[in-house]
Amino acid sequence: MSGTIRVMFEPEGKAAFVLPGSLALEAAARAGIIIDTPCGGRGTCGKCRVAVRDGCSPVNATERRILKPRDLAAGLRLACQARLLHDTTVTVPDASRFFEQRILTTGVHRATRLCPAVAKRAVRAPEPSLDAPRSDADRVLDALGGDGLRLDLGALRQLPAALRATDHHLTAVLHGGDVIALEPGDTAGRLFGVAFDIGTTTVVGSLLDLATGHEAAIAARTNPQVSYGDDVVARITYASEGDGLRELQAKIVECVNDILAELAAKAAVPAEAIYEMTMVGNTTMNHLLLALDPRHVAQIPFPAAVRGAVVVPAADLGIAIHPCGRLYTMPNIAGFVGGDTVGVILAADLPTRRKPTLAVDIGTNGEMVLGTRQRLVACSTAAGPAFEGARIRFGMRAADGAIEQVRFGDDVETSTIGDSAPRGLCGSALIDAVAELLRAGILDPSGRLRGPGELPRKLPRALRRRVVPGERGNDFILAHQAETSLGSPILLTQGDIRQVQLAKGAIRAGIEVLKKQFDVDDAGIDAILLAGGFGNFIRRRNALRIGLLPPVEHERIHFIGNAALVGAKMVLACTGYRAQADAASRETEYLELGGLPDFQHHFAEAMLFPESE
């Protein structure tokens, strides 16, 4: 679009297109890179160092206070302070990244930082002799020094050939006490795992190099179950009839396998080199992947079939990693708060927080957790998939051609993903647009789009001309026909506004109910951590303007990206996190909003927009 700049991120080599003046932090998020900002972007912690080549705002006083002259000379900047003005290149070191930060803080010793559940060990087994004609398995187990180790049937089947292919040198793939596979020769330096976030609407897979901890590739798809209904209740209904469960399971496995194939191709890593998959998802997605009957999740009192982590051979579900590989599903909390929320709890490190901290994961449902190291309470609201583009007339997922940012000046300014002509808008643009419409007085606090005759007198002419009568109430033209790739304008309708009200109202009402549980007011919340597939693209000021979040200083709002996926990566990269996940799953209290007498009251109130900033 006119006026956007191109920012290239290294070492990934990923580009993002943003409006000039965007923070390096925001642009990085747009490229899928989550920078760690423990201070909330206040410029006090100095964690978010990046190297910016040029095309950037001058070094400000905050940066001068935090960065040493040597750093400044090397081109280092704080991503929360540096605004990008022209096309440029930004290099993000590992130490500034959210996921790597989480992994790095695992233990005191650097050696403990990567400790995946699957591990490789290369050994040389002794050869058999007539005096000691011991079995292949016994000789290999001895070489592994394995007290209590056992070889799985799959490994036993590979054993005789693997052992003799390279003169009795081989590499064992271990999972707990099981040798799950064998490879000829020494392949210990080559080990991959994959972490999946299976959302109701979007499925994301991340390929991790478990030898280095680096992400080798990432890929996403729309959950193909969407065609069976766009929320979990519709999926449960479908799964409860006839062969529905098997059908939905086959669909998600197909999608997982498509993503696996894409990851394998992107990273040039064969799928057989992947020995473990971890998965987070809401309880229904969890049950559908495992082919567990989810029907009771939709019936009072909404019990899940299983809460705990499930570990099974991935091949049992048809998942196309190594045939002997394993699947670990993150434990759930309750029927409507699943392993994705446990992932957020881990990524946000909630169980160690001293002061009340709120994590909000905005997906098709809105799940939120408030708490401290003493107590965690979670709830779920049926926010609906509005922020993921569904139920919005021109809504779409954050993909190429989606308007992702909207700013009003004399006219509408937008940036589009992929820098192409837009074909719709995604969740972050939806929030931007609604906030700007409120500021401009085009939208009133009750959620009504004003008509051409009711607009504020000082409204710029270009904006005024975008308000047109629609099918129901008025519409706002976000992009004129000539600007889009659709052959039609992109509109924001009165119906779209109502969907935003429902979605943000549900989330906000949940937050209010949680606050009551802890008897804290807005000032008592130490931090709001915003997670979710699109969480990192939200402009905090706009989220506050529409009332999605309670009115707190925007420094208290932190973006933690797709924290559910980060949680899945954490349990993949370090098995020690699995005990933390289990504890979080057991100990987090679940609050059923439907069972609370005052929930409807909170919800009705939260649907309104704030009168002012």
Question: In the complex, what is the shortest distance from the CB of residue 157 to a second copy, in angstroms, rounded to a whole number?
Answer: 6
Is the peptide bond prior to 11 cis by the omega test (within 30 degrees of 0)?
yes
Q: Is 129 an interacting residue with respect to a second copy (CB under 8 A)?
A: yes
Query: Residue 137 or residue 560: which is nearer to a second copy going by CB?
Result: 137
Binding residues for a second copy restricted to 471-490, rule: CB under 8 A? none
Question: In the complex, what is the shortest distance from the CB of residue 325 to a second copy, in angstroms, rounded to a whole number?
Answer: 15
Query: Residue 518 or residue 590: which is nearer to a second copy going by CB?
Result: 590
Structure tokens at 85: 């003005």
Q: Is 126 an interacting residue with respect to a second copy (CB under 8 A)?
A: no
Q: DSSP of 509-558, one letter per residue?
A: HHHHHHHHHHT--GGG--EEEEESTTGGG--HHHHHHTTSS-S--GGGEE
First-to-final CA distance of the chain:
29
* Binding string, residues 62-81; x marks residues near a second copy by CB under 8 A: --------------------
Q: Residue 331 carries which DSSP code? A: P
Structure tokens at 279: 């998965």
Q: What is the number of H-type helices and E-type strands within the chain? A: 17, 29
Strand partners, 277: 194, 327
Collapsing DSSP to helix, strand or coil, 287 comes out as helix
Going by their DSSP bridges, the two strands 14-18 and 192-198 should be labelled as: unpaired
Q: Is 316 an interacting residue with respect to a second copy (CB under 8 A)?
A: yes
- Measured CA to CA, the distance from residue 286 to residue 198 in angstroms comes to 8
Question: In the complex, what is the shortest distance from the CB of residue 326 to a second copy, in angstroms, rounded to a whole number?
Answer: 12
Say how many residues touch a second copy, by CB under 8 A.
43
Single out the segment in contact with a second copy by CB under 8 A; choices: 173-181, 305-313, 344-352, 367-375.
305-313
Question: In the complex, what is the shortest distance from the CB of residue 159 to a second copy, in angstroms, rounded to a whole number?
Answer: 6
Q: Is 334 an interacting residue with respect to a second copy (CB under 8 A)?
A: yes
Q: Is 228 an interacting residue with respect to a second copy (CB under 8 A)?
A: no
Q: Is 157 an interacting residue with respect to a second copy (CB under 8 A)?
A: yes
Q: Is 179 an interacting residue with respect to a second copy (CB under 8 A)?
A: no
Which residue in 3, 270, 301, 469 binds a second copy (CB under 8 A)? 301
Which residue in 169, 295, 439, 498 binds a second copy (CB under 8 A)? 295
Single out the segment in contact with a second copy by CB under 8 A; choices: 29-37, 128-136, 361-369, 549-557.
128-136
Q: Show Cβ contacts of residue 433 under 8 Å, excluding neighbours closer than 6 positions.
A: 406, 425, 476, 478, 492
Query: Residue 136 or residue 230: which is nearer to a second copy going by CB?
Result: 136
Strand partners, 16: 7
Q: Is 312 an interacting residue with respect to a second copy (CB under 8 A)?
A: yes
Question: In the complex, what is the shortest distance from the CB of residue 231 to a second copy, in angstroms, rounded to a whole number?
Answer: 19
- Sheet (strand 527-531) strand order: 557-561, 527-531, 357-362, 366-371, 376-381, 589-590
Query: Residue 43 or residue 335: which is nearer to a second copy going by CB?
Result: 335
Polymer length in residues for the chain: 613
Q: Residue 423 region, left (φ>0) first, then alpha (ψ -120 to 50), else beta? A: alpha
Structure tokens at 324: 């002997």
Question: In the complex, what is the shortest distance from the CB of residue 574 to a second copy, in angstroms, rounded to a whole number?
Answer: 22
- Cα–Cα distances in Å, from 508 out to 25, 78, 252, 385, 595? 26, 31, 31, 16, 17
Query: If residue 424 lies in a helix (H) or strand (E), which one and from where to where?
Result: strand 424-425
- Measured CA to CA, the distance from residue 380 to residue 364 in angstroms comes to 11
Report the amino acid identity of residue 250.
A
Collapsing DSSP to helix, strand or coil, 160 comes out as helix
Query: Residue 2 or residue 129: which is nearer to a second copy going by CB?
Result: 129
Q: Is 184 an interacting residue with respect to a second copy (CB under 8 A)?
A: no
Q: Taking the CB of residue 400, how many other CB atoms lie within 10 A of it?
A: 12
Q: Is 288 an interacting residue with respect to a second copy (CB under 8 A)?
A: no
Query: Residue 10 or residue 598: which is nearer to a second copy going by CB?
Result: 598
Query: Residue 211 or residue 317: which is nearer to a second copy going by CB?
Result: 317
Query: Residue 179 or residue 538: which is nearer to a second copy going by CB?
Result: 179
* Binding string, residues 350-379; x marks residues near a second copy by CB under 8 A: ------------------------------
Q: Show Cβ contacts of residue 471 under 8 Å, excluding neighbours closer than 6 positions.
A: 493
Query: Residue 150 or residue 541: which is nearer to a second copy going by CB?
Result: 150
CB environment 221-236: b (16+ within 10 A), e (fewer): bbbebbebbbbbeebb
Query: Residue 153 or residue 268: which is nearer to a second copy going by CB?
Result: 153
Q: Taking the CB of residue 271, how many other CB atoms lie within 10 A of it?
A: 20
Q: Is 169 an interacting residue with respect to a second copy (CB under 8 A)?
A: no
Q: Is 400 an interacting residue with respect to a second copy (CB under 8 A)?
A: no
Q: Is 513 an interacting residue with respect to a second copy (CB under 8 A)?
A: no
Q: Is 176 an interacting residue with respect to a second copy (CB under 8 A)?
A: no
Q: Is 117 an interacting residue with respect to a second copy (CB under 8 A)?
A: no
414 closest CA partner among 401, 429, 400, 430: 429
Binding residues for a second copy restricted to 132-151, rule: CB under 8 A? 133-139, 150-151
Q: Is 579 an interacting residue with respect to a second copy (CB under 8 A)?
A: no
Q: Is 555 an interacting residue with respect to a second copy (CB under 8 A)?
A: no
Q: Is 229 an interacting residue with respect to a second copy (CB under 8 A)?
A: no
34 closest CA partner among 551, 566, 421, 466: 566
Report the amino acid identity of residue 413.
E
Query: Residue 289 or residue 490: which is nearer to a second copy going by CB?
Result: 289
Query: If residue 99 lies in a helix (H) or strand (E), which one and from where to where?
Result: helix 98-104
Q: Is 420 an interacting residue with respect to a second copy (CB under 8 A)?
A: no
Question: In the complex, what is the shortest distance from the CB of residue 237 to a second copy, in angstroms, rounded to a whole number?
Answer: 15
Query: Residue 133 or residue 453: which is nearer to a second copy going by CB?
Result: 133
Single out the segment in contact with a second copy by CB under 8 A; choices: 102-110, 254-262, 332-340, 519-527.
332-340
Which residue in 45, 165, 305, 421 binds a second copy (CB under 8 A)? 305
Collapsing DSSP to helix, strand or coil, 589 comes out as strand
Single out the segment in contact with a second copy by CB under 8 A; choices: 79-87, 302-310, 375-383, 514-522.
302-310
- Measured CA to CA, the distance from residue 372 to residue 367 in angstroms comes to 17
Contacts with a second copy, residue ranges (CB under 8 A): 128-130, 133-139, 150-151, 153, 156-157, 159-161, 164, 290-293, 295-296, 300-308, 310, 312, 316, 332, 334-335, 590, 592, 595
